Amino acid sequence: MSGWPRYPPCASGTCTDVVCCAHEVTAEILTSGRVGPPNFCCNRVFVIVDTHSNVTNIPTIG
C-alpha cells in the first residue's frame, strides 16, 4: 500500500528496521512489575495486566 503514510517512528528515522516498520503490530502481554525487552520496536505494543487479566495501564509502543 504505497499510498499509506509511513508509521511515525519509521518516518522520523528512530526506527530503521524494515520488519519493524511493517504495518502489523504485535501485542505483548506483561504482568505488573515485569519489564519488556530493552530493544525498541515500533510495531510492538506492551499491554500491562493484573492477576485477573484486567488491563491496568494504557498500552505503550515499544
**CATH code of 51's domain:** 3.30.10.10
Instruction: Examine residue 1 and state whether it is found in any structural domain, yes or no.
Output: no
> Is 17 inside a domain boundary?
yes
For residue 58, the number of C-alpha atoms closer than 13 Å in the C-beta half-sphere is 1
Which stretch of DSSP H or E encloses residue 29? strand 26-31
CA dihedral 14, 8, 32, 27 (to 10 degrees): -110
pTM over 0.75: no
Asked if the structure places residue 24 within a domain, the reply is yes
Q: Is residue 46 domain-resident?
A: yes
**Can you give the pLDDT at residue 52?**
92
pLDDT, tens digit (0-9, with 9 covering 90-100), for 13-58: 666 666 666 667 788 888 888 877 777 777 788 888 999 989 988 8
**Host domain of residue 42:** 8-61
Q: Note the pLDDT of residue 9.
A: 64
